Structure 1
Amino acid sequence: MRAAITWLDRLSAFLNKIALWGAVLTVSALVAIAFWQAAARYLLDQPPAWTEELARYLMVWAGLLGASCAFRIHADPSLFPDARRRQDGLGQIFAVIRAMGALIFIAPILWYCTFGLNGKMASGYIARNARISAETLDIPMSAFALAIPIGFGLIFLHLLANLGTALTRRVTD
């Protein structure tokens, strides 16, 4: 059991590094696009229409990837900020409460990203966004909508890894 949890924690750490790089790259692109938009507006008097829309979508990607990274390292808002440092049974209880609270929040999001109200994948959030294009970018909206299930899927994976690590840690009395 400990080997599986160690593997899961390593996978979580590896994907966290990728998500952190993704967040850094999207914020960098967001800054560059916002700079171009301001320069084009005030220096050239011709702001491109696509910059504002792309900046909005990059902000969503950066925010969700960054949120998953924050959750992994316990930098998210918490009812029990010192729970991670506790090595006793109370720390394990805090870890379970944190996991349950996060799961209550993310489970419906992941469900409705995949399935619609009728329980069919064709009416889920991603499928609905695949049928429409961004206004100025001629890219399917699902390319941007995928940020939600990817970000929350990473949070779910980090949740499992953090919970497993907390529950299999040797309890010191």
Structure 2
Amino acid sequence: MRRIEQVSAGLDRVCLALAKAGLIGIAVVILLQVGARYGMRSPYAWTEEMARYLMVWSGLLGATCAFRRGLDPVIVAVTPASGRGRKMLARAMLVLAVAIFLLPVLHYSVFGPGWNIERGFLWRGMGRTSPGLGLNMALVGAVIPITCLVILIHCAARVTGPVAHARGAAE
């Protein structure tokens, strides 16, 4: 197994574990909220916010796992019987689609207009805190560039992998 595939597999294991933990966390927090609301008639103020942030993190980290498994929409479908040209076209379209979508998101997560870091999404989030938990919003929003980087690594592993690794073929 090549190094990029090893890195992709390792990141996938971590993202999947964190996504699962986040889903379990959502269930626990919601159960706590329901219990406090109807059992003690005194709901906690932070539970809804915590569940929302866990949902965002779990969803985006889960999306990286889905991408690695080839569960993303395709522009050019391939099968094991597809010719080499079609497989190369599918890989090129995958790279193009991922780059068009993720590179601007990654760029504006860090930089704002005029390459100004202070106007970037994360920097602006560092100056804000969430109302219920008091979390720094940059911590909450950090999942966006993390997701972009992980998907870019998965894309590199998919594109540079063997032809059998193309969508439609067994992994």
TM-score, structure 1 length as denominator?
0.88
SS at match of 1:118: helix
Aligned-residue offset at 1:157 = 0.9
Aligned-residue offset at 1:81 = 4.5
CA contact (8 A) 1:92 1:166 kept: no
Partner of 2:142: 146
Aligned-residue offset at 1:25 = 0.5
Cα distance between partner residues in 2 of 1:78 and 1:45: 49
CA contact (8 A) 2:80 2:164 kept: no
The correspondence of residues 85-96 of structure 1 with structure 2, limited to 5 A, is 86=82, 88-96=84-92
Please provide the CA RMSD for this pair.
2.0
- Structure 1 stretches of 4+ with a deviation exceeding 4 A read 83-87, 166-169
Aligned-residue offset at 1:158 = 0.7
1:66 maps to 2:66 = no
Aligned-residue offset at 1:72 = 0.6
TM-score, structure 2 length as denominator?
0.89
Output the amino acid matched with 1:114: V
Aligned residues: 165
Aligned-residue offset at 1:64 = 0.6
Deviates more, 1:147-156 or 1:159-168: 159-168
Higher relative contact order (CA 8 A, sep 6+): 1
Cα distance between partner residues in 1 of 2:63 and 2:116: 28
- Residue identity over aligned pairs, in percent, reads 31
Cα distance between partner residues in 1 of 2:11 and 2:119: 29
Aligned-residue offset at 1:153 = 1.1
